Amino acid sequence: MRKTIIAGNWKLYKTINEAIELANGLKRELFKANFSAVDVVLCPVFTALSEVAEVLNETDIQLGAQDLYWQDEGAFTGEVSAPMLKDAGCRYVIIGHSERRQFFGETNEMVNKKIKAALKHELTPIICVGENLQEREANNTFKVIEGHIQGALVDISAKDMLKSVIAYEPVWAIGTGKTATGEQAQEVHKFIRDLLRKIYGEEVASSVRIQYGGSVKPENIVELMGKPDVDGALVGGASLKVDSFSSIVIKASEVVK
């Protein structure tokens, strides 16, 4: 049994006060519902982490960051390390998001180093993979996904893999309002799980959670979660409002597999 995991990637949105307000709103709304069947993770900008951690203190909602640097400390201007994220209250960290690959030149090699740093400091990496439109249209989806997975997981042990989460985010579905259909998501999620089986064997393949991300909304979460290999969602735009994100969490918690 894989526990559903719904994470909100707040991207480059929300000042500290706005982040506190959103976290408080979600805390109130989710407190009324029974979401114990779902792991809920909020990933604000770095500057709001400590304050949001305080809001989430003594709740079951977890904190995550959107990126990290692989060195613990040093002369690396502008970076934030795994121990610093732990210090701010994080349990999770998103790694290799397509926006980081696209706009900040992140390579599979860098993604791999970041995953290792997260695991070394007991942060759960949410490892993002996904093809862009051109790659999909050229029928290269599986090739791209395989490259992302193989590249990300170099020298990651089965034990560490069991502590990790994968997010399949087709780039063409991010922020576009174009969601992958349940079938499209399932096809790639199954491909990823089969790949994990080849690399690590059955225990890892059947235990690792694979989230879908890309225009997830209250209107499509049930269809996506209904698929056997979809174990949750990484939500962008719809995670910025109390109503839509809490509705996604509640609807996801009602899907019985």
Q: Check if the beta carbon of residue 95 is closer than 8 Å to that of residue 118.
A: yes
Closest contact distance (angstroms) between CB of 127 and ligand 13P is 12
* Residue 232 within binding range of ligand 13P, rule CB under 6 A: no
Residues 178-217: x where in contact with ligand 13P by CB under 6 A, - otherwise, as a string: -----------------------------------xxxx-
Closest contact distance (angstroms) between CB of 178 and ligand 13P is 9
* Residue 42 within binding range of ligand 13P, rule CB under 6 A: no
Residue 133 burial (CB count, 10 A): 13
CA distances from 63 to 101, 112, 161 (A): 23, 22, 20
Cα–Cα distance measured from residue 123 to residue 198, given in angstroms and rounded to the nearest whole number:
25
* Residue 175 within binding range of ligand 13P, rule CB under 6 A: yes
- The single residue of 99, 106, 131, 169 carrying the catalytic annotation is 169
| 254 belongs to the catalytic site | no
How many residues bind ligand 13P, per CB under 6 A?
Answer: 14
- Residues 144-174 as b or e (16 or more Cβ within 10 Å = b): bbbebbebbbeebeeebbebbbbbbbbbbbb
| 131 belongs to the catalytic site | no
Closest contact distance (angstroms) between CB of 197 and ligand 13P is 25
Nearer residue to ligand 13P within complex by CB, 9 or 253: 9
Nearer residue to ligand 13P within complex by CB, 125 or 236: 236
Give the pair of three-digit tokens for residue 198. 């080849």
Closest contact distance (angstroms) between CB of 155 and ligand 13P is 26
* Residue 41 within binding range of ligand 13P, rule CB under 6 A: no
**Binding region for ligand 13P (CB under 6 A) out of 19-27, 70-78, 136-144, 233-241:** 233-241
- Which residues neighbour 86 within 8 Å (Cβ) at sequence distance 6 or greater? 121, 122, 123
Give the active site residues.
Answer: 97, 169
Task: By CB under 6 A, name the binding residues for ligand 13P.
Answer: 9, 97, 169, 174-175, 213-216, 234-238
